[in-house]
Chains A and B, each alone.
Chain A
Amino acid sequence: MSINVWSILKFFAYVAIIMFFLFPIAWIFNMSFMTNDEILRKVPVLFYEPTFKNYIGLWEGEIAIEGFATMYVYFKQNLINSAILSVGSVSVTLLLGVPAAYAFARYKFKGGEDIAFTLLSFRFAPALLIILPLNLYFSEIGLYDSYFALIWVYQLITLPLLLWIVRGYFEDISPDIEYAYRLDGHSWFQSFWKISIPLAKPGIAAASLLCFIYAWNNFVFALILGSSQIQPVTVGALAFITASAIPYGLIACGIVVSVLPTLILALFIQKYLVQGLSLGAIKG
């Protein structure tokens, strides 16, 4: 009897968890295939003819709304901006972060730990504390509203992330393999490129994907340091929802397109997620 009560409770717990955490995502997908009339019904419709009009409108940037003239949306540019900013940030992070991570893992040097922790602490500093002065600087030296400046600032979140994850992977590689290779007459760079990097590759790949997700999901940097010309989807979608007369289906569609890349990437790094999210503190 008591086992029965327990399993019924468990069943309801599963249902509640699935409803709360997954239903909102499912419903937004659902909404993105609806027309405005279908969304605005007081009783939500479950059966309707799905339309791709929202997606087409979002891509072409033009939507005809009954009773209004044709409306123009610039969401495609936001998508392109997100891609440029995320890919750019991850590339720069890889270039700067991998050698540094190797140094922290392999060499005990004066101030090394301090530098590593200083870099880590940026991840936990209030973002506005740093961006407010940067906003004034960038305006003065003409860097405001440039991809270059934004990608630089994005390093604040991506660099510590990559550094601390990849460092753990380099630490797990035995230095003896590198020494043996170098004794064969190869240079340090050759051993780094041919031995260390391939061995740490799974970690580097997972860390860069996680960096991509964090960069894609960032909101506050571009909100303050860029105009609508270079803003990513996170800021663009907010402008979208606050603008009047945009059909709700189109807003839902914009959100779906914005979250889809990170959701798909997340499925690829499942195995490394725990380690990545805890900055290497917990091995998953």
Chain B
Amino acid sequence: MKINRKLFPYVLTLPALLVCVGILIPFFTAVYYSLQRYNLKMPHMKGFIWFDNYVNIFTDPSFWNTIRVSLTYTFFTIIIELLLGLGIALLLAKRTWLNNVLGVLLVLPLMIAPALASLIWRLLINPNFGVVNYILSFLGLEDFTWASHPDTVLFTLIMVDVWVFTPFIMILLLAGLRSLPRQPFEAAELDGVPEYYKFFRITLPMLFPFILTASLFRLLESIQQFDIIYALSQGGPGESSMVFQVSAYLQTFQYTNIGKAAAMMVVLWAICYFLCHVFVQQWHKLKIKTKGELLQ
């Protein structure tokens, strides 16, 4: 009976665990592949080559380009989404009729599949009939090249990412803003503290855990973004929007170079693992904090 009681939680989690073990196997296989010379077109060449794939990708300028593009994409999406999301959250913080309706409606882009969001924008910026081009022509901006030129493709992709994921930051920060205790603000009001001072010294520090959580979530997703980029530019023109996962996808299905693709993915995984570690620590702290506040 005693053993039964000890084993019981494991029995409950076992099915979920088994499904995930099925996932762990491919993970280790991928790591193993990354140490092999493995090209589907040349099966007889298959063999163990230790870290040659890694040496290869890190001496390849196009992989450095991939790193540069991925980091640029991640950096700009997160900065813009944070600022915009924070701004909108502040604008909508007061519970008025309009703000409540907008709070509901603004979540909609987030609920659209990122791949479909790319397709929506492809129709809106189509060079022949795109309505956005028509609107921009009034602002004196004619024939903007969008995704068809290396100089503007990243801008276009970042715009779509911002469109989809700003609501994510917005909704989290809005919840944070509305849960802040009132007393510090009331005290500041009594002392006649100026608005900007209230914002930088009270609102922002108290909102910080929420900002951190939201940005870490976004960071992990943004650096791995595949759907938006694949559906809009497939890494092109040239390699101007080639991010990690798109690069690995093409490496696998165009060049059938499994070993190299696996090595790239392991590098990306290492970056994500590090970020995830930071994330989990913060997540724990925040959970304790919000739970604690709830009990009061």
Q: How would residues 165 to 176 of chain A score, 1 for a CB under 8 Å from any chain B CB and 0 otherwise?
A: 000000000000
The answer to whether B71 has its CB under 8 Å from any CB of chain A is: no
Q: How would residues 10 to 46 of chain A score, 1 for a CB under 8 Å from any chain B CB and 0 otherwise?
A: 1001100110111011011001000000011111100
Chain A residues whose C-beta falls within 8 Å of the C-beta of B294 in the assembled complex: 283
- Determine the residue in chain B with the shortest Cβ distance to A153: B23
Complex CA gap A99/B32 in Å reads 34
Task: Establish whether residues B262 and A132, one from each chain, have CB atoms under 8 Å apart when the complex forms.
Answer: yes
Task: Establish whether residues B120 and A40, one from each chain, have CB atoms under 8 Å apart when the complex forms.
Answer: no
The answer to whether A67 has its CB under 8 Å from any CB of chain B is: no
Secondary structure class of chain A's binding surface, majority of residues? helix
Complex CA gap A106/B226 in Å reads 37
Q: A100-B15, A217-B114, A282-B286 are in contact. Are A126 and B23 (CB under 8 A)?
A: no
Q: Which of A24, A27, A122, A135 is packed against the most chain B CB atoms within 10 Å?
A: A24
Task: Establish whether residues A277 and B172, one from each chain, have CB atoms under 8 Å apart when the complex forms.
Answer: yes
Task: Establish whether residues A109 and B17, one from each chain, have CB atoms under 8 Å apart when the complex forms.
Answer: no
Tell me the chain A residues, 145-160 only, with Cβ under 8 Å from chain B: 152-153, 155-156, 159
Complex CA gap A97/B17 in Å reads 10
Task: Establish whether residues A17 and B262, one from each chain, have CB atoms under 8 Å apart when the complex forms.
Answer: no
Chain B nearest CB: distance from A5 CB in Å?
A: 14
- Range class of the B interface residue count: 35 or more
The answer to whether B104 has its CB under 8 Å from any CB of chain A is: yes
Chain A nearest CB: distance from B170 CB in Å?
A: 9
Complex CA gap A238/B224 in Å reads 20
Complex CA gap A224/B275 in Å reads 26
Task: Establish whether residues A262 and B112, one from each chain, have CB atoms under 8 Å apart when the complex forms.
Answer: yes
Task: Establish whether residues B115 and A44, one from each chain, have CB atoms under 8 Å apart when the complex forms.
Answer: no
Chain B nearest CB: distance from A189 CB in Å?
A: 11
- Determine the residue in chain A with the shortest Cβ distance to B226: A220
Q: How would residues 244 to 273 of chain A score, 1 for a CB under 8 Å from any chain B CB and 0 otherwise?
A: 000010011001001100110111001001
Task: Establish whether residues B106 and A152, one from each chain, have CB atoms under 8 Å apart when the complex forms.
Answer: no
- Determine the residue in chain A with the shortest Cβ distance to B252: A132
Chain B nearest CB: distance from A127 CB in Å?
A: 7
The answer to whether B198 has its CB under 8 Å from any CB of chain A is: no
Task: Establish whether residues B15 and A96, one from each chain, have CB atoms under 8 Å apart when the complex forms.
Answer: yes
Q: A234-B115, A238-B231, A277-B172 are in contact. Are A99 and B23 (CB under 8 A)?
A: no
- Which listed residue (B9, B105, B176, B224) contacts A103, Cβ 8 A? B9
Chain A residues whose C-beta falls within 8 Å of the C-beta of B261 in the assembled complex: 128, 132
Task: Establish whether residues B175 and A95, one from each chain, have CB atoms under 8 Å apart when the complex forms.
Answer: no
Chain A residues whose C-beta falls within 8 Å of the C-beta of B91 in the assembled complex: 10, 13-14, 17
Task: Establish whether residues B279 and A124, one from each chain, have CB atoms under 8 Å apart when the complex forms.
Answer: yes
Q: A122-B20, A262-B111, A273-B171 are in contact. Are A95 and B30 (CB under 8 A)?
A: no
Chain A nearest CB: distance from B130 CB in Å?
A: 9
Complex CA gap A20/B121 in Å reads 11
Chain A nearest CB: distance from B168 CB in Å?
A: 6
Q: How would residues 202 to 216 of chain B score, 1 for a CB under 8 Å from any chain A CB and 0 otherwise?
A: 000000001001100
Task: Establish whether residues B290 and A281, one from each chain, have CB atoms under 8 Å apart when the complex forms.
Answer: yes
The answer to whether A112 has its CB under 8 Å from any CB of chain B is: yes
Tell me the chain B residues, 38-53 only, with Cβ under 8 Å from chain A: none
Chain A residues whose C-beta falls within 8 Å of the C-beta of B168 in the assembled complex: 277
The answer to whether A75 has its CB under 8 Å from any CB of chain B is: no
Chain B nearest CB: distance from A267 CB in Å?
A: 7
Q: How would residues 160 to 190 of chain B score, 1 for a CB under 8 Å from any chain A CB and 0 otherwise?
A: 0001001110011001100100000000000
Chain A nearest CB: distance from B173 CB in Å?
A: 10
Chain A nearest CB: distance from B209 CB in Å?
A: 9
Task: Establish whether residues A129 and B163, one from each chain, have CB atoms under 8 Å apart when the complex forms.
Answer: no
Task: Establish whether residues A251 and B123, one from each chain, have CB atoms under 8 Å apart when the complex forms.
Answer: yes
Question: Taking beta carbons and an 8 Å cutoff, which residues of A are in contact with B?
Answer: 10, 13-14, 17-18, 20-22, 24-25, 27-28, 31, 39-44, 95-97, 99-100, 102-104, 106-107, 109, 112, 115, 117-122, 124-137, 152-153, 155-156, 159, 163, 213, 216-220, 223-224, 233-235, 237-238, 241, 248, 251-252, 255, 258-259, 262-263, 265-267, 270, 273-274, 277-284
A-B contact pairs, 15 of them (CB 8 A): A17-B102, A104-B13, A119-B16, A121-B273, A132-B248, A133-B30, A137-B26, A153-B23, A217-B114, A218-B113, A258-B113, A266-B108, A282-B175, A282-B176, A283-B179
Excluding A217-B111, A248-B123, A278-B217, 19 further A-B contacts by CB distance (< 8 Å) are A20-B163, A21-B109, A25-B120, A28-B123, A99-B13, A109-B9, A126-B265, A126-B272, A128-B226, A129-B269, A133-B33, A133-B262, A219-B113, A273-B107, A273-B171, A277-B171, A278-B214, A282-B286, A283-B294
Closest 7 CB pairs of A and B: A217-B113, A103-B12, A133-B26, A129-B265, A107-B9, A219-B115, A266-B111
